[in-house]
């Protein structure tokens, strides 16, 4: 019986490769967290980069289960599978300050857009994921703004440059 418990313990810890913080960030020990957001639906998203910048990965799911990890291949080609677009404008007399940041990728014909936006004029901060299946079918998964960690703009020079603004 003791041997069985020891065997299961070894098996569990060898399979469970996420560090202690991974329970909330899905971050592996060899990765650095770029962006994390807890969602209003109780799920979470994380964007991580290998510490040696060998790959980038997006993970989404519940506290105990990753439901989507993109891309499957964790190699340097992963950087070409993402697109960062953004825009910022300082405030002034004739305009209101705003900052728009987006990270997009397409998986199985569905476009996913992680967004983090701020509009000073209405003091409106929004973050979440837009799941775009077609022009007429867009699901907006809202994030908990105060749970944000990291900054999408850190990806600006690491992934493809995009031009689309999603707001």
Rounded Cα gap, residues 163 and 165, in angstroms: 7
Angle at 67 between CA 66 and CA 69, to 5 degrees: 75
Which of these, 167, 159, 162, lies nearest to 58 by C-alpha position?
159
Rounded Cα gap, residues 46 and 7, in angstroms: 32
Model confidence at 15, in pLDDT bands (50, 70, 90)?
very low
Is the confidence at residue 17, as pLDDT, over 70?
Answer: no
Is the confidence at residue 151, as pLDDT, over 50?
Answer: yes
Mean pLDDT of 81-110: 89
Q: Are 88 and 164 in contact (CB under 8 A)?
A: no
Is the confidence at residue 97, as pLDDT, over 90?
Answer: no
Please give the C-alpha separations between residue 147 and each of 44, 117, 150, in angstroms, as whole numbers.
10, 14, 10
Domain ranges of the chain: 24-157
Is the confidence at residue 24, as pLDDT, over 80?
Answer: no
Is the confidence at residue 5, as pLDDT, over 60?
Answer: no
Average pLDDT score over the chain: 85
pLDDT per residue over 39-58, tens digit each?
A: 999 999 999 999 999 999 99
* The model scores a pTM over 0.85: no
In the prediction, which pLDDT does 9 show? 38
List the structure tokens of 31.
């990765």
Identify the residue with better confidence: 52 or 12.
52
Kindly calculate the radius of gyration of the chain based on its CA atoms and give it in whole angstroms. 18
């Amino acid at each position: 019986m003791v041997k069985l418990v020891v065997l299961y313990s070894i098996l569990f810890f060898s399979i469970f490769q996420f560090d202690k913080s991974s329970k909330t960030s899905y971050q592996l020990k060899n990765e650095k967290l770029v962006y994390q957001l807890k969602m209003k639906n109780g799920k979470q998203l994380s964007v991580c980069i290998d510490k040696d910048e060998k790959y980038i990965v997006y993970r989404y799911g519940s506290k105990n289960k990753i439901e989507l990890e993109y891309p499957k291949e964790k190699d340097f080609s992963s950087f070409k599978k993402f697109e960062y677009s953004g825009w910022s404008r300082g405030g002034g007399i004739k305009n209101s300050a705003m900052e728009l940041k987006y990270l997009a990728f397409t998986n199985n014909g569905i476009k996913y857009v992680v967004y983090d936006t701020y509009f000073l004029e209405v003091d409106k901060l929004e973050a979440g994921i837009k799941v775009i299946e077609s022009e007429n079918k867009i699901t907006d998964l809202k994030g908990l703004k105060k749970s944000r960690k990291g900054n999408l703009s850190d990806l600006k020079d690491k992934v493809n440059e995009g031009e689309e603004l999603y707001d």
